[in-house]
Every structure is written in C-alpha cells, then in structure tokens.
Chain A
C-alpha cells in the first residue's frame, strides 16, 4: 500500500487539475452563453437550448469518445489530457448555462426596472446590476459543479487519460491488488467530492444569510 498511495495521489492531482480547468473555462463560456440566453438576440435561444439538450441527453462517455475520434479526424492533434479537458468542458458548459441563467433570472425584476429607469442599456444593467447580484448565487452551484466534474472526469479513463481511475486501473493490472487499490481510489474520490459538497452547502448558507439582509 505504501508505494500505491503516492501514485494515486499524483493521479488525484491530475483529476483535480482537469476538473478545475474545465470548471474555470466552462464558467467563461457558461456566463457568456447564459447571459446571451437571457438578454441576447432571440435568434440564439434555440441554438443554445439545442446545445444544452445535446449535452444533457447523451451519455458523457459518448461525448468523450466523440472528442477522442473527431478531433484528430478534423486534423486537430492534441495530447490526451487536453482532449479530456475539452470533452469535460463541452459537457460542463451545458450544465453551467443552466446555473447562470436561473441565477440571473432570480434577481428581482425591480432591480432591472430601477436600472431601466436610470436609463441604463440592457447590457449595462446586466453588467452593473444583475450580474454582480446573481454572481453570489452562482457560487454554491458552481462549487457543486466542481464536485460533479471530479466525478465525471473518471470517464476520461476510457480514452486513457491518466487520471485517478485510470491510474487505479493500471496499478490493478500490474499488481492484482484490486481490493487495496479500489478502496484507496474510492476513498480519495469520496473525500474530495464530500469536501466540495460541504463547501457548496456552506456557501449556500452564507448566501442565504446575505439574502435575508446580512451582507457577506
């Protein structure tokens, strides 16, 4: 077990790296598309909705295979790690739009009206008034999204991205110590994901306090 754990910990670091990268890049696109879905040209709406539908109605494993097969086919040769991040990003953005949009829509319509009455344009009101208030409400679900990404990133093992699940698999294949390895892998995932879920729940309580009048 002594020599297994360090290898798994290094792989966990990769798992976390991939997930955090996908989360952060995903937030950029999630915000852009989420805002566009609320105040952008109506023409975009069916496109964005269609994208969300595709992401949510196909298995993530299929999306991973698609990235694995199609990117090289389109002449884009990338390291597996990057392919993995891109697949995870494609998936996460679909979910993050659905985090951003309700948060934007949850800001009281009176705030919009006050901005309108001052003569702000839609985009200025979004930037100065709606987004700053909605941002707080996005933090807990985004933390939760990170937990989901850590879980989902395990699927990248099917295209041999050397993250935690893949590493576990490789060690089992070479050592046959499947019980020890599986217990350690499960424990590492469990602790990481649990910490993130607790973090999300904690932030949720903080936000709730803010909404009932106490500033953060």
Chain B
C-alpha cells in the first residue's frame, strides 16, 4: 500500500482491488457453507417432508411442531442453541461445522414444507394408483410421488439457497471466515468502512441477484407446465 491512493467518487479504488481476492475467497466460503447446508437440509427434508404427509399422526404433529419452532423463532437463536447445546451433549465441532449444522437447521424448517407442498401438489390419484398396484407407501413415495414433485421444487429450493446465504452472514458472530466476517475484520484493521461494505454488498447482490434470476427462469421457462412452489423470503 505504498502507492498513492487511486480515488474514484471518494473511494480508494486501489484498496478495493487489493482486497478483492480475499473477498472472493470469503464469498466462496459463504456459498460453500450455504450450499452444504441446503443439501444437508434436503437430505433431512425429504424424509421429514414425506413423513409429514404419509407418516403416522403423532410423527406428523412432531414434524409440524419442529417446523413451526424453526420458522417462528429468530435464526440467530438457532446459532446460539447449536453453539451451546452441541457441546452440552458432548458433540464438539469446530466453528465451520457448527455453522453448517445451524444453517442446516434453518434450511430444514423451510425445506420440509417445500417437500410437503410438492408431494401434495402431485395428484392424489397417482398415489392411489401406485397403492392399487400393490406398492407400499414408501415405494409409492420414492418411485411415484418424489420424481414428479422434484421438478416443481427447484425454483423454491433456489430461493431457499438465497435465504440460507443471507442467514450465513450471522456466522460472523461465531468467527467463521465467511464474507461478512472477513469484511468486518478488514474494517477493524484498516478503517476503510465504505470501500469494504460496498464491496461486500456488491458481492452478495451479484450472487443473490443471479440466483433469483435463475429461480424466476426455472419458474417461467423450464417448468411452465406445472405451478412452481414457493418459499417465504427470510432476511
């Protein structure tokens, strides 16, 4: 940083370029951790969503309660619960995996509902036909309902990825080196407030803007034959 600052609109552009590689690296962590949580969320969400529809009644209620709890309390609380409760029951994870677990909890709360709505959107005649053929409930679910439901879920899952990326900024409080945390760290070291915040915001907007474009594209073009499912936007 011995060069003279290159100013544009009062911003030190040279500095912004200089920190860019670190920012991109942090962005990759953000995307990686979010995608991981989304995928783990699907792995859990599919059986939970399936059981929510065809499972025994008490289990349905339990899953419904879990979903209401996750959606009806602040996301940051899920971080605190995971952060304190896992060690409390003897599970010791590093910050990164603590973050993944917490984000997965958040994602599952919405993915269960996406899966449920997708399954319910498949005509119930399909399930009855499968059962009439002699399939068991799980067979009908995996072979008939899920394949049909999958394509309708893609736009909603893309939106859920956006939600998870936004939620991942909360990981800055438990020292995961994702985008918001790295941005804050640079600010505390250099006091380049505006430059750093601007760069962080633009990177988020690029990724999230691209994803919402993708979600709309999936909704309109590729899957125009069946109503796409939606998921509420979180902040």
Question: In the complex, what residues of B have CB within 8 A of residue A62's CB?
Answer: 169, 180, 183, 197, 200-201, 204
Q: How far is the CA of A158 from the CA of B74 in the complex (A)?
A: 13
Q: Which of A38-46, A52-60, A111-119, A126-134 contacts B (4 or more CB under 8 A)?
A: A52-60
Q: Are A165 and B201 in contact (CB-based, < 8 A)?
A: no
- Pull 10 A–B residue pairs with CB atoms less than 8 Å apart, ordered by A: A59-B170, A62-B169, A62-B180, A62-B197, A165-B77, A172-B80, A178-B85, A182-B81, A190-B68, A194-B68
Q: Say what secondary structure dominates the interface of chain A.
A: helix
A53, A60, A91, A172: the one contacting B205 at CB < 8 Å is A53
Q: Which of A29-37, A76-84, A147-155, A202-210 contacts B (4 or more CB under 8 A)?
A: A147-155
**A168: interface (CB < 8 Å):** yes
A57, A91, A152, A182: the one contacting B85 at CB < 8 Å is A182
Q: How far is the CA of A190 from the CA of B74 in the complex (A)?
A: 9
Total residues of chain B contacting the partner, CB 8 A: 37
Question: In the complex, what residues of A have CB within 8 A of residue B180's CB?
Answer: 59, 61-62, 65
**A189: interface (CB < 8 Å):** yes
- In order of increasing CB-CB distance, the 9 nearest A-B pairs are A59-B169, A154-B74, A61-B169, A60-B235, A57-B208, A178-B84, A59-B166, A57-B205, A189-B73
A172 to B, closest residue via Cβ: B84
Q: How far is the CA of A190 from the CA of B169 in the complex (A)?
A: 22
**A193: interface (CB < 8 Å):** yes
Q: How far is the CA of A185 from the CA of B169 in the complex (A)?
A: 21
A60 to B, closest residue via Cβ: B235
Q: Are A61 and B88 in contact (CB-based, < 8 A)?
A: no
Q: Find the residue from B76, B204, B208, B212 having the highest chain A CB count within 10 A.
A: B76
Shortest CB distance A143–B (Å)? 14
